[in-house]
Amino acid sequence: MALCLKQVFAKDKTFRPRKRFEPGTQRFELYKKAQASLKSGLDLRTVVRLPPGENIDDWIAVHVVDFFNRINLIYGTMAERCSESSCPVMAGGPRYEYRWQDERQYRRPAKLSAPRYMALLMDWIEGLINDEDVFPTRVGVPFPKNFQQVCTKILTRLFRVFVHVYIHHFDSILSMGAEAHVNTCYKHFYYFIREFSLVDQRELEPLREMTERICH
């Protein structure tokens, strides 16, 4: 019998607490709709499409939070094998290196270890998701005009987690018997960002061959 992601990845190894949607809100209803579609066995290309009559920003917001939770769960399980010594640089193989930049501590692109990069990334995303000016939760409060640009940056950086995990920690995925589950999460993420053109094609290049194989 196939295991679900929660069974594959131990709860006590999550990188940080999951972000949840408040019951009774439109986002919660959209989240339930998206989860029901996922569990129905529908093709993932179909699952990611905007439901008729729904607001695209709400749909994107729900998925950004959900992907944050799922990718956070995947990396949290790999975290003890991704150390300062094993991964002194946040990279995706020998050809790709990711540098960190933010508006606080690192105003210029900084070369960091993978675990340090991941910690800063998850803190940064968490801060945005919890910011009412960026991800409003109150009824009638509009999304900011640059909302999709913000989500593009979040999703681009989350894609880099997949790059690092697949290229540097694939043996850990295999040893846990989690390949099928990580692949499903990746395919869901990939079809979503392609459906709404949320990540530049150049950013996808490190996993192009694998993507062509599993997302055909």
User: What is the rounded CA–CA span in Å between residue 10 and residue 14?
Assistant: 7
Q: How big is the chain by its Cα radius of gyration, in Å?
A: 17
In Å, what is the CA distance from 66 to each residue of 20, 63, 78, 129, 209?
A: 9, 5, 19, 11, 26
- DSSP line for 72-106: HHHHHHHGGGS-TTT-SS-BSSSS-B--B--SSS-
User: What is the rounded CA–CA span in Å between residue 140 and residue 206?
Assistant: 40
User: What is the rounded CA–CA span in Å between residue 188 and residue 170?
Assistant: 19
User: What is the rounded CA–CA span in Å between residue 81 and residue 142?
Assistant: 41
* 82 known member of a binding site: yes
In Å, what is the CA distance from 80 to each residue of 117, 126, 182, 216?
A: 15, 21, 18, 33
User: What is the rounded CA–CA span in Å between residue 91 and residue 176?
Assistant: 23
* 87 known member of a binding site: yes
* 169 known member of a binding site: yes
Binding site residue list for Zn(2+): 82, 87, 164, 169
Binding site residue list: 82, 87, 164, 169
